[in-house]
Amino acid sequence: MSTKKNKKNKPEESLRTNLLFGPRNYKFMFIGLGLIGLGFALMAGGGSKDPQVWNDAIFNFRRIRLAPMIILSGLIVEIYAIMTKPQ
State which amino acid sits at residue 69.
M
Q: With 0.95 as the threshold, say if the pTM is over it.
A: no
- Give the integer Cα–Cα distance in Å for 43 and 27: 25
CB burial string 45-77: b at 16+ within 10 A, e below: eeeeeeeeeeeeeeeeeebeeebeebbeebeeb
Residue 6 maps to a domain: no
Q: What is the predicted pLDDT for the residue at 56?
A: 83
Domain assignment of residue 52, given as a range: 19-83
Asked if 39 and 68 count as a contact pair (C-beta separation under 8 A), the reply is: yes
**What's the confidence (pLDDT) of residue 6?**
55
- Residue 18 CB: number of other CB atoms within 10 A? 6
- Residue 8 inside a domain? The answer is no
**What pLDDT sits at residue 57?**
81
Name the domain count of the chain: 1
Over its length of 87 residues, how does the chain's per-residue pLDDT go in tens digits? 555 555 555 555 555 678 889 999 999 999 999 999 999 999 998 777 888 888 888 889 999 999 999 999 999 999 999 999 988
Domain contains 33 = yes
